[in-house]
Amino acid sequence: MIKKLTRRHVFAVALGAATAFAAPSIAADKVKVAGIHASPVENAWNSRIHEALQSAHDDGVIEYVFSEGVSGTDYARAMREYAEQGVDLIWGESYAVENEARQVAADYPDVAFLMGSSGGPAGDNFGVFGTRNHEAAYLAGMLAGSLSKSNTYGSVGGYPIPEVNLLINAFRDGVMEVNPDAKFLNSFIGAWFDPPKAKEAAIAQIDAGADVIFGERIGTADGAKELEVLAIGSLIDYTPRYPGTVFANAIWNFRPTVDAIVADVAAGNPVGKDYTEFSFMKHGGNDILFVADGISPDAISAMEEKRKAIKDGSFEVPIKTDEPS
């Protein structure tokens, strides 16, 4: 049984009672993992990580406890409280607390940390990872390249940070491979979770002529559905929620990253390194899911050939992190 710890639970218990957080009857051969989610685990990005950790728990590889909705002002405290419990590995996201997170790791050298981060690793115990489903976004772009009637493609992102820029640029490059005359529109909504705002941004682009929209943020597909154009999802599979609208998804799979760092922790290896590579397609870290209906066999064949080349390493999707215009 996975133990869920709400924000109230985490911060209502003093350090002296911190054992109340620990999962019961933890076997000696299992790595004890605590997850600290800044957003609810239902959020698309967090859900992919949470599901990967849950699956490792269900497979008997780890014991997993977690808290969610932890604010930046409480984040370092949550890290310290879990470290005091004696967990082996703390997963988290340090984007808003880069310096504080590294200080906590320095104070607990016997605990391993893996953080989603815009910075690099630190010491022997602070590892980092980035989100990489750009290869799948490139493939989705290839499929989209033959589907637009207006020859104008849109995209809606959260913030213009390198990881988001990379994803949108990869989608555009995929479109351009099969449709070099394509035109592009883009919007950043200034939020990680604001579906109404993402919907509004999508509608504005559709009104400006876009008829295929890449949704880096949740809510984009709502605008596409309302105005009856096509959309592409990111991170998770949106097709069941938007049948006839979302025709492809750039899926992110975090389990290879979990397996890699858990193996290092179990072996006593230093984890102060970048684990981003395990999100690449060659490791099973991302892939495309798509609906073949309405897509030409030639377009699918070309995409599948490129997918094979990405997996075997004969083609690398360019890493472009400049802000898309």
Q: What is the mean pLDDT of residues 193-206?
A: 97
In a domain, 325, yes or no: no
In a domain, 185, yes or no: yes
pLDDT at 139: 99
In a domain, 142, yes or no: yes
Indicate whether 159 pLDDT > 90: yes
In this structure, the answer to whether residues 24 and 75 fall within a common structural domain is yes
**Each residue's pLDDT tens digit, 268-310:** 999 999 999 999 999 999 999 999 999 999 999 999 999 999 9
pLDDT at 287: 98
Interacting residues of 101 by C-beta distance below 8 A, sequence separation 6+ = 75, 76, 79, 92, 94, 113, 115, 117, 126
In this structure, the answer to whether residues 114 and 167 fall within a common structural domain is no
Distance CA 50, CA 116 (A): 13
Using alpha carbons, select from 217, 247, 293 the residue that is nearest to residue 144. 247
pLDDT at 43: 86
In this structure, the answer to whether residues 158 and 209 fall within a common structural domain is yes
In this structure, the answer to whether residues 106 and 8 fall within a common structural domain is yes
What is the count of structural domains for the chain?
A: 2
3-state secondary structure of 215: strand
In a domain, 321, yes or no: no
Which CATH number fits the domain that encloses residue 64?
Answer: 3.40.50.2300
Q: Tell me the pLDDT band of 154, cut-offs 50, 70 and 90.
A: very high
Instruction: Return the percentage of the chain with pLDDT > 70, whole number.
Output: 91
Q: Tell me the pLDDT band of 28, cut-offs 50, 70 and 90.
A: low
Instruction: Return the percentage of the chain with pLDDT > 90, whole number.
Output: 87
In this structure, the answer to whether residues 206 and 298 fall within a common structural domain is yes
pLDDT at 193: 84
Which domain does 103 fall in, by range?
3-129+254-280
Confirm whether pTM is higher than 0.95. Answer: no
Strands (E), the chain: 3-5, 31-36, 62-67, 89-93, 112-116, 126-129, 152-157, 183-184, 187-188, 212-215, 230-235, 246-252, 286-290
Indicate whether 57 pLDDT > 60: yes
Indicate whether 15 pLDDT > 60: no
Ordered DSSP codes for 142-160: HHHTTT-SSSEEEEEES--
Q: Tell me the pLDDT band of 23, cut-offs 50, 70 and 90.
A: very low
In this structure, the answer to whether residues 63 and 152 fall within a common structural domain is no
In a domain, 240, yes or no: yes
Q: What is the 3-state secondary structure (H, E, C) of 161-188?
A: CHHHHHHHHHHHHHHHHHCCCCEECCEE
In this structure, the answer to whether residues 218 and 240 fall within a common structural domain is yes
In this structure, the answer to whether residues 124 and 144 fall within a common structural domain is no
Average pLDDT, the chain: 92
In this structure, the answer to whether residues 307 and 190 fall within a common structural domain is yes
In this structure, the answer to whether residues 223 and 297 fall within a common structural domain is yes
Q: What is the mean pLDDT of residues 136-162?
A: 97
In this structure, the answer to whether residues 155 and 121 fall within a common structural domain is no
In a domain, 227, yes or no: yes
In this structure, the answer to whether residues 234 and 263 fall within a common structural domain is no
